[in-house]
Amino acid sequence: MQYQAPRWLPGGHAQTIWPVLFARRHEGPAPEFRRERWTTPDGDFVDVEFLDDPQAAAMNGHAADRPLLVLFHGLEGTVQSQYVQAFAAVARARGWAFAMPYFRGCSGEINLAPRAYHSGDYVEIGWMLDQLRAAHRGPIIAAGVSLGGNALMRWAEESGDSAAATVKAVCSICSPLDLTAAGHAIGKGFNYFVYTRMFLRTMMPKALGKLKQHPGLFDRDRLMRVRNLYEFDDIFTAPLHGFRDADDYWLRASAKPHLARIRVPALLLNARNDPFVPARSLPEQSHVGPQVTLWQPKGGGHVGFPAGRPPGHVWAMPGRVADWLAQHL
């Protein structure tokens, strides 16, 4: 697999930011979606976006018989994220069904339970995949972007041999497989002023909404003093999801230490100039088992991978990921 970043867009930051703001996301019309709401075992809910493509269904048979690509989004991702649009369009072009489950609280409506979502939530990933497996007759392949990819790999690790009964193959894209390294990297320098502050602009109001739902859930004064994702995770994410503190969360939720346990074909895609994920933290071949393929191109940024002439497009990387996944159908 090859990827060469365009000469007109040099550097990891440019290759991260430009695709979000300016690059084309799909060929042809924008993908259209229909939403379903599922009730979770703890009485909460999650929303799921399904690609609504009647023409493809008519050409390729009933949607339940076609391959289903499941995409797990990244931190604060939505169906409008450029990578979701690109993956959905790639699936549409191949005649595949497509689903993007929202993590709790990310679909535009605050969830009900005294919890949210986190990078190692493999139990939630497994439950979502089980629902899709029960409803879909055709083969399932799954990919996760950034946070969603780490959680997906944690599910594959914990599932071991049984993962193959649910999915044919999995892929993580620009995922912080070493959460400690990535968490500290995003809190420094340019990363702090641009990316950390961007994420906190949406995460802080959600946390305050959760506190209004469940008074006493955490210390509001401490939250209001948060300056970075480490402090946010220490006050909010970690204790709400059963971790002692941010250090414990980042250590136990990281997929990197357990990659050798994966027993289903897995592709780990990470650009070596990703501003969020230091190249030194990426897994090496000695860290993984025979089912795992590492793809670490020099360029691409964080979930950017722009291609073509200005303004560029972002469907080249999803297309190559789909090519790899299709080999295992």
- Give how far the C-alpha of residue 99 lies from the chain's centroid of Cα atoms, to the nearest Å: 13
State yes or no: is 146 an active-site residue: yes
CB-based burial label for 307 (10 Å; 0-12, 13-18, 19+): buried
Catalytic residue among 146, 175, 254, 281: 146
Catalytic residue among 26, 73, 241, 302: 302
Element (H, E) at 170: strand 169-173
State yes or no: is 287 an active-site residue: no
CA dihedral 309, 313, 315, 316 (to 10 degrees): 30
State yes or no: is 119 an active-site residue: no
CB environment 172-203: b (16+ within 10 A), e (fewer)? bbbbbbbbbbbbbbbbeeebeeebbeeebeeb
Please tell me the distance from the alpha carbon of residue 312 to that of residue 2, in angstroms, as a whole number. 17
Element (H, E) at 210: helix 197-213
Catalytic residue among 159, 274, 281, 313: 274
Please tell me the distance from the alpha carbon of residue 203 to that of residue 182, in angstroms, as a whole number. 18
Tokens for 320, please give them: 């190559």
Residues annotated catalytic, as ranges: 146, 274, 302
